[in-house]
Amino acid sequence: MPECRCATWSRHPHAWSNQSVDAVATRRLCRVRVVGIQEPVDLHELHAEGATPQWLALRDTYETALTLYESGQWAAACRALYSLMDAAEGS
């Protein structure tokens, strides 16, 4: 059965208990504006329980690249993304 992927957002960054945060790994995808909400919100991908160390490392690299992109550091963001592409080709 294919892995289920979905995205979610929360108005409050600490809306989940520490227990549920530890149980479900997430990856920040982007910051979006939602109709009816004043402030932009972060959109996250939910990952299945028990994320592997490899997935966590890829997630951290992706989030670093996203932060670099959002701050206008284009070349550094590209370098980070290229390392993800190299990792995908090697697997």
pTM exceeds 0.85 for this model: no
What pLDDT does 15 receive? 52
The CA angle 62-13-38, to the nearest 5 degrees, is 100
pLDDT in single tens digits along all 91 residues of the chain: 334 444 444 544 545 444 455 567 889 999 999 899 899 999 888 887 778 898 899 999 999 999 999 999 999 999 999 988 887 776 6
Contact residues for 66 (Cβ-Cβ < 8 A; gap 6+): 28, 29, 30, 77
What pLDDT does 69 receive? 95
Pick from 42, 43, 44, 48: nearest CA to 4: 48
What pLDDT does 74 receive? 95
Pick from 61, 50, 67, 53: nearest CA to 85: 61
Beta strands in 10-49 (DSSP E): 26-32, 41-46
What pLDDT does 20 receive? 52
Instruction: Give me the helices (H) in 18-52, please.
Output: 18-23
